[in-house]
Structure 1
Amino acid sequence: MHEHLKIEQDGRILRITLNRTSDNGVSDSMAAALSKAVLSAHETSDVVLLRSAGPDFCTGRIRDAGTTPPATEAYERRPEYDSIFNSYKAIRQAQVPIVGVVEGRSMGYGTAIVSLCDVSFAADTATFNIPEMGHNVMPTMVMSAVYDRMNRNAILWMTYSTDFIDAQRAMSYGLVSTVVPEQSLQAEVDRFMDLLLSRPRPAILGLKEYLRVAPRMDDQGAIDYARTLHSMVNTATAMKKAH
């Protein structure tokens, strides 16, 4: 457990809240704790609900207090970013879907993890940017998360300009699933979570598994994998329970 990461088990939902309200940043140690939580979520849960204590979703990556300055040699410096890259990988590889809820600003690391969520809700007042180039930092960490989530022109416009975009534009870019009026956000999230949890667990997990693996296969492999999962999931006892 991390002091700035609130993790609560709520029935079949694992609620994870980014809880660094002083600046809404995410530290490397928070990212490592997030990785651990989402990779083990399937042991207790059917879905992860990821949000922030606010007012912003995430204003970007920050270094943990008391850590040594970055190494000056590139090869030595490279592992210092592993907690961030590993958190992206963990969200991709989590066995249960991750639902993101975004309010306020989502910057840099925040934009990256929103893009990796399986379903994401944005308040209509939410804004998004990738600010690194404004600080003379090449945003390759963020790009490693969004490269297959957004189209090339959108990525390059956001990274070169560093401008904030609104929630509707973020949805058109593929960053979020849906945009909801701020006053209706919680009701819409609750409605979707009830709907998702009405689906049988084999189908919930099977959909995530297929979309995690199939895009890296050739066409025939993706078809054969679909045939196999179709047979496995649809013959599961849980799929035959009466509604």
Structure 2
Amino acid sequence: MQQDDILLRDLDDAGILRLTMNDTGRRNALSEAMLKQLGAAFGAAGGEPGVRVIILAGHGPAFCAGHDLKEMTAGRSGADRGKAYFAHVMAQCSGVMQAIVNCPKPVIAEVKGVATAAGCQLVASCDLAVAADTARFSTPGVHIGLFCSTPMVALSRNVADKHAMEMLLTGDMIPASRAAEIGLINRAVAVDTLQDTVMDMARKIASKSSMTLATGKRAFYKQCEMTLPDAYDYAARVMVDNMLAHDAEEGIGAFIAKRAPQWQDA
């Protein structure tokens, strides 16, 4: 397989961009090549007016198996036993996760197979996640003497502390039903309805003003890190600016007039 085939891109007429990890021989591992392509894809999509929603999926039995451990082991060959290389890969991976959060377009993970370690981190980093009821999730680093510290960052921002710590400390694989219960994913659905469910969700979101969605996504993640008073002060300023935007005036006017809004994404 050529490196340029490991991440497939398909944009439909509704502005829904499907990014499909396609390195099935490595279980869609986050190799350096995959991380580079994911980072570039999310960066480009964020500035592309024709993209309204992004779906991240994976071909094969694994959504994403996390870091490529064979590649990581090869990185130990340096005089520093791989310290510089490991730092580079961790920074690259963290950059991809933050690119998803910072992307102004909503990102939906469509999880058909297993998502482990940094693959689980990838799911947790997306704004929304829908999984097949056969999908499974884990942060199994403890099994190999490597605590899933970077996956912990995204995981702990999605699920309650004790649920996150149970996954991190035991390394146990959990089914999609449990992942939905603890908030790691939005819902688990039958595997043969997964893509249709995600596409229905994506189309619903794509029909909204992209300005409004970008405003809301940015504000959501920013206020999460604030104290309650600061969060309300910040959110109030965002609401004022949003009210002055064209699409808010148009949307409210359309609601009052009982007609469909005509978005300008501004």
How high is the TM-score relative to the length of structure 1?
0.91
Q: Secondary structure at the match of 1:54?
A: coil
Deviations 1:69-124 (A, max 9, x none): 22545753433421112112211211111111001211111111101111111111
Q: How far apart, in 1, do the equivalents of 2:19 and 2:234 lie?
A: 32
Runs of 4+ in 1 over 4 A off after TM superposition: 63-68
Q: CA RMSD in A?
A: 2.2
Counterpart position of 1:3? 5
Counterpart position of 1:32? 36
Please tell me whether the aligned partners of residues 60 and 109 of structure 1 are also in contact (alpha carbons under 8 angstroms).
yes
Q: How far apart, in 2, do the equivalents of 1:105 and 1:97 lie?
A: 22
Counterpart position of 1:235? 244
With 72-81 and 191-200 compared, the bigger mean Cα shift is at 72-81
Cα distance, 1:67 vs. partner?
Answer: 9.0
Q: Secondary structure at the match of 1:60?
A: coil
Identify the match of residue 123 of structure 2 among 114, 118, 132: 114
Identify the match of residue 15 of structure 1 among 2, 15, 18: 18
With 170-179 and 21-30 compared, the bigger mean Cα shift is at 21-30
Name structure 1 gaps, 5 residues minimum: none
Cα distance, 1:68 vs. partner?
Answer: 4.9
How high is the TM-score relative to the length of structure 2?
0.83
- Counting matched residue pairs gives 243
Greater share of residues in helix? 2
Name structure 2 gaps, 5 residues minimum: 255-259, 261-266
Counterpart position of 1:62? 68
Please tell me whether the aligned partners of residues 39 and 95 of structure 1 are also in contact (alpha carbons under 8 angstroms).
no
Q: How far apart, in 1, do the equivalents of 2:144 and 2:43 lie?
A: 32
Q: How far apart, in 2, do the equivalents of 1:75 and 1:58 lie?
A: 24
Cα separation, partners in 2 of 1:207 and 1:138, compared to 1, 3 Å:
same
Percent identity over the alignment? 25
With 232-241 and 65-74 compared, the bigger mean Cα shift is at 65-74
With 206-215 and 139-148 compared, the bigger mean Cα shift is at 139-148
